[in-house]
């Protein structure tokens, strides 16, 4: 099978840039796809960060410290950009205006004003495909729940809970990084860092909160700066958002939580939906299992837990009896993005990456959450503008 080669540049050569490179190197893991990414150029303000790519990725032809030089490279078709949130607006806009397709990291701007500037650039360049990184909904268990929602199995929804929890910042001796500073991470704190992962599926379902009441926590007030000093932690550690979702035919509460300090949770993403006819839950803590509770009036109420086979959005060489993991979800997300680049809306399967519109929706929720925390009130969200 001949494959369409999509030539990528990477801007930001840290952890997630390396994850993309690893996914591209594993492309033979996928079956029956007629497209393939090839990383040909990399850029990082720290020249040493690009060396790993030059040492390990044979396809890399050029390395830069100035991203504008990368954007001027005519052989680059698309960009993966993973930089601190304060750099999103300028760099994303420059990528879009250069005519390069973009998969960018969340939250698509340090705040709502920055996100609007990115959205305006996208509108002005409709031929550029722009998507937001969010890999967890590509787990087979999450895909199963997505299909159950599409099939209207739940009846009247009783409530929804979705979250993404870390324990990485529980250690108070951990040296401060850019995610702990408002200037680089933004006032959203953990919401901007983790929240698009949580909102990806609710936004895709059309579950847009009518209002939000937020409880935001600063748990570790200061951290070492690596130079012998203690400095303030400026951003929120944890956030719990109580939302009110109102659809044409029903209304239900939705709890969204993003936590960087959740003891015992290394990297836990979950969604739980309860309904009058069906309930379901999936968590990456048990990646091979999905729980469901079918109900008929007068019948038993019992949760059923069964293995979710390795049945991914895009076919792979892995047998269904094996366990799906984080690197697999990254590969599936990249397959979905490259599928759009190769085929437009005529993709091999229907579940596409998080959209700029969904990212903009997350900014509405986070901005309202900040206001709720400041005022102690429930804040309405306007989805009409």
140-195 pLDDT, tens digit each: 999 999 999 999 999 999 999 999 999 989 999 999 999 999 999 999 999 999 99
| Total residues belonging to the chain | 385
Cβ-count burial of 85 within 10 angstroms (0-12 exposed, 13-18 middle, 19+ buried)?
Answer: buried
| Contacting residues for 326 by C-beta, under 8 A, at least 6 apart | 135, 267, 284
* Alpha-carbon span 295 to 153, nearest angstrom: 10
| Contacting residues for 228 by C-beta, under 8 A, at least 6 apart | none
Query: What does the pLDDT read at residue 309?
Result: 84
329-352 pLDDT, tens digit each: 999 999 999 999 999 999 999 999
Beta strands in 121-250 (DSSP E): 130-132, 157-165, 209-217, 222-224, 230-232, 238-246
pLDDT category at 385 given cuts 50, 70, 90 is: confident
**Arithmetic mean of pLDDT, 308-325:** 91
Query: What does the pLDDT read at residue 1?
Result: 65
Nearest to 80 by CA among 2, 166, 15: 15
| Chain center to CA of 318 | 24
State the distance between the two ends of the chain, measured CA to CA, in whole angstroms: 46
217-249 pLDDT, tens digit each: 999 999 999 999 999 999 999 999 999 999 989
pLDDT category at 384 given cuts 50, 70, 90 is: confident
Asked if the model's pLDDT at residue 286 lies above 70, the reply is: yes
Query: What does the pLDDT read at residue 340?
Result: 98
pLDDT, averaged across the chain:
97
**Arithmetic mean of pLDDT, 250-254:** 97
């Amino acid at each position: 099978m001949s494959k369409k080669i999509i030539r990528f540049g990477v801007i930001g050569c840290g952890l997630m840039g390396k994850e993309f490179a690893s996914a591209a190197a594993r492309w033979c893991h996928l079956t029956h796809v007629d497209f393939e990414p090839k990383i040909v150029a990399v850029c990082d303000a720290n020249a040493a960060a690009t060396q790993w790519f030059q040492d390990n990725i044979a396809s890399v032809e050029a390395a830069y410290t100035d991203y504008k030089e990368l954007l001027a490279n005519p052989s680059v078709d698309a960009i993966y950009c993973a930089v601190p949130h304060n750099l999103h607006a300028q760099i994303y806009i420059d990528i879009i205006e250069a005519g390069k397709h973009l998969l960018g990291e969340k939250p698509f701007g340090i705040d709502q004003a920055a996100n609007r500037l990115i959205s305006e650039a996208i509108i002005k360049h409709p031929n550029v495909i722009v998507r937001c990184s969010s890999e967890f909904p590509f787990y087979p268990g999450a895909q199963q729940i997505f299909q159950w929602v599409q099939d209207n199995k739940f009846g009247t929804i009783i409530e929804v809970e979705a979250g993404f929890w870390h324990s990485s910042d529980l250690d108070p001796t951990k040296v401060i990084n850019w995610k702990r500073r408002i200037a680089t991470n933004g006032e959203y704190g953990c919401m901007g860092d983790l929240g698009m992962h949580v909102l990806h599926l609710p936004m895709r379902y059309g579950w847009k909160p009518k209002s939000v009441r937020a409880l935001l926590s600063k748990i570790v007030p200061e951290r070492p700066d690596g130079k012998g000093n203690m400095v303030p932690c400026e951003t929120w550690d944890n956030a719990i958002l109580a939302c009110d979702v109102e659809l044409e035919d029903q209304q239900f509460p939705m709890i969204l939580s993003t936590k960087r300090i959740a003891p015992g949770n290394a990297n836990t993403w979950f969604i739980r939906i309860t309904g009058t006819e069906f309930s379901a839950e999936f968590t990456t803590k048990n990646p091979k299992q999905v729980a469901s509770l079918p109900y008929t009036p007068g019948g038993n109420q019992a949760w059923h837990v069964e293995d979710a086979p390795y049945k991914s959005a895009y076919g792979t060489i892995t047998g269904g009896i094996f366990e799906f993991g984080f690197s697999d979800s990254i590969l599936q997300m990249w397959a979905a993005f490259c599928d759009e680049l190769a085929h437009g809306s005529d993709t091999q399967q229907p579940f596409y990456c998080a959209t700029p519109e969904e990212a903009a929706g997350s900014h509405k929720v986070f901005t309202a959450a900040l206001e709720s925390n400041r005022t102690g009130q429930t804040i309405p969200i306007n989805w009409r503008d």
